[in-house]
Structure 1
Amino acid sequence: MTDQPEPGSRSAPRLTTREAAELLGVKPETVYAYVSRGQLSSVRASGGRGSTFDADEVRALARRSGRRDPAPAGGDLVFRTGITLIEEDRYYFRGVDATELARRHRYEEVAEWLWTGELRPGTRFEAPAATLAAARRTVAALPPHSGSTDRLRAAVTAAAAMDPLRFDLAPEAVLSSARALIPTLVGALPVVGEGKIGTEADGDALARQLWPRLTARPADAPALAVLDAALTLLIDHDLAASTLAARVAASARAHPYAVVSAGLGVLEGPLHGAASGPAHRMLQEAVERGSAVPVVADHLRTGRPVPGLGHRLYRAEDPRARTLFALLEDVPQAAGALAAAREVVAATARQAPLPATVDLALAVLSVGCGMAAEAGETVFAVSRTAGWIAHALEEYGERPLRIRPSGQYRGPRPPQPLP
């Protein structure tokens, strides 16, 4: 459609070419391509220089093409997402109750559900042999005192270096990288008590592959079911701190390995992924002392918060904790830790009732099954990798570099003398 003379009426708002391009999220020349295809009408601006466009028509085209309105100058801090909804003390993955998914499907199947919107029974992830070997060599070179998150970060870096096509951000390429990366992370971790690589068979469920990297005790079906459910329940939890970091990286068009590295950096904070460690130590002490009451009393006396209690997004018990506690009932070796956890909740209820969080449930699993205090953090990190990938896939479809908050300067006003 060719330009028409600008009408005399000024009642309808008009946009310049630059404004229309920003609203559509395209280059100015693409706007003219829309005009030539008949998808958009334009009129010549006064004086014959440039064109103007009807604002409502441009917005309608933006909606049809899946474009978003441009962010304000300070950048976007509200994210449109179709991944996780937290509402009325429940949470949902793509509209389906996450706790029901965890009861009925394995971690890998639910990861695929988040990524693609399709549930594929029997899905398994497999690490490429060369990538896994490189990740294991890299992890083995770390000092002995390295923690599990140190090892996971090193494994991600090695996997990225082994993937020369990692900057291909097409959805299928990203998914291919993710399906290979997650089992690589697990396989790169040393087996507990042996300090060497595992001997699991290819095609084993991820929970079974992870188990010997968390504890030297043999796995049984009920305990593996708890671990798999924990992996599934922790896949995503809306825009947690690590997920926000992952989306910022994806907004800058970082490749998926870098997105996961960004998430791991935040996850290691004691207030996020590492929060189950203090809960583990508290329950361990309670089991050893035969009662949780004196342990809780020690926390209160010294002004320390009792770990594993109270989540700001839930008024009642964290649904992830509730699901895991129910499954832990079938794990005999966790009975002592489970009783201690319930005693902690009961002991603190007298002052200010704070329901249990997933961190307390992870601590029951780790204490009951002879795992280290950082085991919960390892489970969290491996699990949440799938969630970071899901958010990266969403963010890759948004306008690049849209997440740009503005700082509120509080320093001395210029001009200041040269120091």
Structure 2
Amino acid sequence: MLRGSSGFYCYAVLEHAGSWPALNITEARLAFKLNTARFTYMAVSDEIQRYMPRAADRDAPRGMPLAYKEAVLLLNPAEPQFKGEVDDKYQYSLDNKDNAVHGWIAGAPGPAVGFWVVTPSNEFKTGGPLKRELTSHVGPTSLTVSMFMGTHYVGNDIVAKIKEGEHWKKVMGPVFIYLNSNPERGNFHTLWEDAKAQAEAEASKWPYTFPESPDFHKAGQRGSVTGRLLVRDRFVSGKDMPARRAYVGLAAPGQPGSWAIESKGYQFWTRASATCGSFAIGNVRAGVYNLYAWVPGTLGDYMHTAAVTVDAGGAVALGDLVFEPPRSGPTLWEIGVPDRSAAEFFVPEPNPKYVNKLFLSKDKYRQYGLWDRYAELYPAGDPVFTVGESHYSKDWFFAHVTR
């Protein structure tokens, strides 16, 4: 805790001694269980926030488990407004890149009080910017950073596998647990906006100066990497093109795209310029990395061929880097947009028996049971996409599912 600060900081240093046997770490997390009677409103993003059912509503006979235990149909909740809805913690997951702050608000009796999990940096998260993880869910429960380490949406490939005789150490955090209040009981929007502002303030102070552990590297123990990424695709342009808004990151040495299943080391990501493709990655812990990138709208993964060594206080200038996407000829046709999202494809309406009212118009892909809708919509067989006639927004299902 810091004097005058409305909250407290949490971090952990995980270490595996070289004399220890092999160890697999599937999850490492810090969870907070809040007062069930008071904290009833949850906020995960500007669009994803609402009053939530109580934990007791999930238990029989008030609730009925569905295909997996986390998804429950609310049959007779204490508050009738939730009757007939599905509660499922996975519906509130976020990508690491979007998960800066989430939490709960307590209303009456008394002033409105907010409890927020603020993540000032993603450097200690596993799987890079697109790794999806849990946030807050009915309990009321908040998971820090969603989780420090977790296998959700990836599986065993992202388990941290530490070998016998391997010395390993990693600093998780700090994250900031922020508390705010408002005498206006129903004014939750003000608390959420204040929490977002606090998240930005915490990010601006990273790396923190106050952790006493020598394992947490301060600014003077870190370096920077700069450069410019260009795309060379002669079937699109005769000139090298700037990799506009590319995701560019440093992660443990590996293969192109291996950052997505990397969990033992640190990762440092940024977005390239929207005009010239230049990038700057600051506050990088000293170490040896590969530089990885991917460009929205362009197929493939980029990896710089040479390892990048960052020294304390050092500045690595890589200059111009060229990414040549995989090609065997000009594009004849394509289905969708290569942006690592399925947002452009057809997302069906949910079964009206299993809905979450929050996602009826936006983010419909979060609804429960959409995998069953595939066989219902295409009972005779898989759909046929006819080039030049079909359109992926209505003729291509957003997920690969079984019948």
Pairwise same-fold verdict (TM > 0.5): no
* TM-score normalised to structure 1 length: 0.24
Higher relative CO (CA 8 A, sep ≥ 6), structure 1 or 2? 1
More helix by share: 1
More strand by share: 2
Larger radius of gyration: 1
